[in-house]
Amino acid sequence: AQSVSQHNHHVILSEAASLELGCNYSYGGTVNLFWYVQYPGQHLQLLLKYFSGDPLVKGIKGFEAEFIKSKFSFNLRKPSVQWSDTAEYFCAVNTGGFKTIFGAGTRLFVKA
Amino acid sequence: GAGVSQSPRYKVAKRGQDVALRCDPISGHVSLFWYQQALGQGPEFLTYFQNEAQLDKSGLPSDRFFAERPEGSVSTLKIQRTQQEDSAVYLCASSPTASGGWTYEQYFGPGTRLTVT
């Protein structure tokens, strides 16, 4: 069965530190990839997505992610985090059907 | 504009009761999804509607779960004879295209937190 693994369940960083959240999926075919974010008290919202083309995609608020097909990975990065980036981040994969599979999420806490 | 809304936001049910959870998608959105999110987990797909047609219900965990979208807009997720393991946040999402989650992002509602006692 297809699955999505997020390696870190909790991450604590100080402001200005760099961020990388890991995401791996298990599927050998074509995928569409997403990162969603849920800020405290808010709805899940899209951070960025990859469908095709340049494997380095840029999203809102300075986030980017790189699709590495050979590693089945889609890691999320940000060079310098802010306190306002405190949130839960979900990686998600769609393999061509109606179903999107989400990872378990990573809770990021940024210390001011 | 208005986003996806869900009601009630919180529901406490005694084991064995039936519950109905409502989702109002963004106006004009063709696709509608229901997810179940257990504590500490990511959303898990339950079912998908394209307009009024339920095209995928592979994620519904048992025949106690039933969803409908009779006029292609508002949707209701019904859980009969609730059990403690049904306690979770139920999320609704909508999307403007007819291709499910394949080619477009999903817009999520705030969820309904169901607690079964």
* Mean pLDDT confidence for A8-37: 94
Residues of A in contact with B48 (CB under 8 A): 98-99
Look at B1 and A27; give whichever has higher pLDDT.
Answer: A27
Q: For B102, which of A36, A96, A102 is closest by C-beta distance?
A: A96
State whether residue A43 sits within 8 Å of chain B by CB: yes
**A79 confidence band (pLDDT: 50, 70, 90):** very high
Nearest CA in chain A to B38: A104
Q: What does the alpha-carbon distance between residue B5 and residue B62 come to, in Å, rounded to a whole number?
A: 25
The torsion angles phi and psi of B15, rounded to 5 degrees, stand at -55, 130
Q: For position B98, what pLDDT does the model report? A: 79
pLDDT in tens, B85-108: 999 999 999 999 876 666 678 999
Contacts of the segment B41-44: beta carbons below 8 A, 24+ positions apart: B41/A104, B41/A105, B42/A4, B42/A90, B42/A92, B42/A102, B42/A103, B42/A104, B42/A105, B43/A44, B43/A90, B43/A102, B43/B91, B44/A102
Q: Do B42 and A44 touch (CB under 8 A)?
A: no
- Tokens 């306002």 correspond to what residue? A84
pLDDT in tens, A48-64: 999 989 999 999 999 99
The torsion angles phi and psi of B60, rounded to 5 degrees, stand at -65, 125
What is the 8-class DSSP label of residue A61? G
The torsion angles phi and psi of A13, rounded to 5 degrees, stand at -135, 155
* Residue B105 tokens, joined: 């992002």
**B7 confidence band (pLDDT: 50, 70, 90):** very high
Look at B82 and B1; give whichever has higher pLDDT.
Answer: B82
Q: For position B100, what pLDDT does the model report? A: 62
A38 membership: H or E segment, kind and range: strand A32-38
| A110, pLDDT greater than 60 | yes
CB contacts < 8 A (A, B): 66
Q: Do B101 and A44 touch (CB under 8 A)?
A: no
Query: Percent of chain B beyond pLDDT 90?
Result: 89
pLDDT in tens, B18-51: 999 999 999 999 999 999 999 999 999 999 999 9
Q: Do B102 and A98 touch (CB under 8 A)?
A: yes
Dihedral sign for Cα B91, B51, A94, A109, please. Answer: negative
Q: For position B101, what pLDDT does the model report? A: 60
Q: How far is CA B82 from CA A23, A34, B11, B17, B90, in A?
A: 34, 32, 12, 6, 14
Q: Do B40 and A100 touch (CB under 8 A)?
A: no
Residues of B in contact with A44 (CB under 8 A): 43, 91, 93, 108
Contact A110, A86 (CB under 8 A): yes
Residues of B in contact with A36 (CB under 8 A): 108
> Which amino acid is residue A32, in one-letter code?
N
